[in-house]
Amino acid sequence: MDKLCIVGGRRLEGEIVVSGAKNAALPILCASLLSAEPLRLSNVPDLRDVGTMLCLLEQMGVTVTRDGNVLVLDGSRVDNPVAPYELVKTMRASILVLGPLLARFGHARVSLPGGCAIGARPVDQHIKGLQAMGAEISIEHGYIEARAPRLKGALVVTDMITVTGTENLLMAAALADGETVLENAAREPEVTDLAQLLVAMGARIDGIGTDRLVVHGVERLNGAEHSVIPDRIEAGTFLCAVGAAGGDVTLRRVLPGHLDAVVEKLREAGVTVESGEDWMRVAMSGRLKAASLRTSEFPAFPTDMQAQFMALACVAEGASQVVETIFENRFMHVQELNRLGANISVDGNTALVTGVERLSGATVMATDLRASASLVVAGLVADGETFIDRIYHLDRGYDRIEDKLRGVGANVRRISEAGEEA
């Protein structure tokens, strides 16, 4: 297993180009199952999760051609509508094949994803929505077995706001017979990006970007071209890294409007952030100030940025309160940050971060994707060497993070299992 070694204490200066968004690319790749014509997708990030999703789609019969960040996916020969446990267990987003398979082929067999480090994460709302659209669904031997000769439009009101739930139902509804109304829909930019691709494929969707999506089902969808939106969470991670380590960095190919809540908290903490149409400049010198936050659905502060912001709060002056409202177990990074000298206590879904003057490097373990990113942020600040173990979590969602950080002056190297350094 690879690890990262970071020698902290360097200011970060220069430019970083932000990659395409993991959480937009994954549902968009699944949309290739909806059509017999090819999708040409650009700005697809080079990530482990993207590799896993392509593997899953290929074993179903999708043909994939890759040229750098441009992918062509051809779903004309799909003949195996099955998502096996071996792939689903490594990436929960595999559940996103359920809606498209059912809508186009009338049946699907998808392994139940099971829980993960950050919470139980059931998929009951995905199932409930498809049942409302007429699907017969049973759970057999750990697999969701779904059948529907043709899905029918329906009113679906989810019990809570669910991002992949909205995406699954949106894809299913695009090919259903009649009108589907998705109430309480997620408004995350990644949902909007998927909706825009579907429209380019010929889907008829009203209310894009709102919590009420109205989908007028069509008989078939065509091929399309689409560029994946920039990754707001990758960008936000770099904003926190510069805020914590100090420096002056410009992010390129970013959509600043997707990061308003994060920027507001960074400014509260004393970080300077400026932006233009597709760039952001982040600058910090001196001591950070405490800033409290509460995670919530878009456009509020994203749960996927909670851990990275907490790492920054560790070295701020004063106490910050961090409330996690989306996942029940998303504080796995706290223990590891405390190993680096942070002072964080947790009570239920609330963490109290009492800022310290300095962190000190140690060996820590990545437990999930954004927890790993928070350890990278902390490692950039800590005195001496920080070794981060199990960075396969980081590789799920960050495209060459060590190269990007080295490009702005960080001392970061990857140590492969064989002991080689890169």
Ligand X SMILES: C=C(OP(=O)(O)O)C(=O)O
Binding positions for phosphoenolpyruvate? 22-23
When asked if residue 375 is in the footprint of ligand X (CB under 6 A), the reply is: no
Closer residue to ligand X (CB): 192 or 250: 192
Among ligand UD1, ligand X, none, partner that 109 touches (CB below 5 to 8 angstroms by kind):
none
Closer residue to ligand UD1 (CB): 118 or 242: 118
The DSSP 8-state label assigned to residue 228 in this structure reads P
Report how far apart, in Å, the C-alpha atoms of 321 and of each of 252, 309, 347 are.
31, 11, 11
> At closest approach, how far in Å is the CB of 295 from ligand UD1?
8
Among ligand X, ligand UD1, none, partner that 397 touches (CB below 5 to 8 angstroms by kind):
ligand X
> At closest approach, how far in Å is the CB of 262 from ligand X?
14
> At closest approach, how far in Å is the CB of 82 from ligand UD1?
20
For the segment 82-141, give every residue that binds ligand X (CB under 6 A): 92-93
Number of H helices, E strands in the chain: 14, 24
> At closest approach, how far in Å is the CB of 270 from ligand X?
26
Among ligand UD1, ligand X, none, partner that 126 touches (CB below 5 to 8 angstroms by kind):
ligand UD1
| Chain positions contacting ligand UD1, by CB under 6 A | 23, 26, 92-93, 119-126, 160, 162-165, 190, 303-304, 326-327
Give dist(CA 266, CA 259) in Å, integer: 11
Q: 54: how many CB neighbours lie within 10 A of its CB?
A: 18
CA atoms within 13 A on the CB side of 215: 35
Closest CA to 61 of 97, 25, 88, 92: 97
When asked if residue 23 is in the footprint of ligand X (CB under 6 A), the reply is: yes
Among ligand X, ligand UD1, none, partner that 123 touches (CB below 5 to 8 angstroms by kind):
ligand UD1
> At closest approach, how far in Å is the CB of 56 from ligand X?
13
Among ligand X, ligand UD1, none, partner that 122 touches (CB below 5 to 8 angstroms by kind):
ligand UD1
Q: 138: how many CB neighbours lie within 10 A of its CB?
A: 10
Give dist(CA 63, CA 60) in Å, integer: 9
Residue for token pair 């398979």: 101
Closer residue to ligand X (CB): 114 or 318: 114
Are the CB atoms for 4 and 391 separated by under 8 Å?
A: yes
Structure token pair of residue 234: 């990758």
Window 252-291: contact mask with ligand X (x via CB under 6 A): ----------------------------------------
For the segment 230-249, give every residue that binds ligand X (CB under 6 A): none
* Residues annotated as catalytic (active site), given as ranges: 116
Give dist(CA 212, CA 217) in Å, integer: 16
- Classify burial at 105, counting beta carbons within 10 Å of its beta carbon; exposed 0-12, middle 13-18, buried 19 or more: middle
Give dist(CA 77, CA 80) in Å, integer: 9
When asked if residue 324 is in the footprint of ligand X (CB under 6 A), the reply is: no
Are the CB atoms for 247 and 254 separated by under 8 Å?
A: no
User: Where do contacts with ligand X occur on this chain (CB under 6 A)?
Assistant: 22-23, 92-93, 304, 369-370, 397
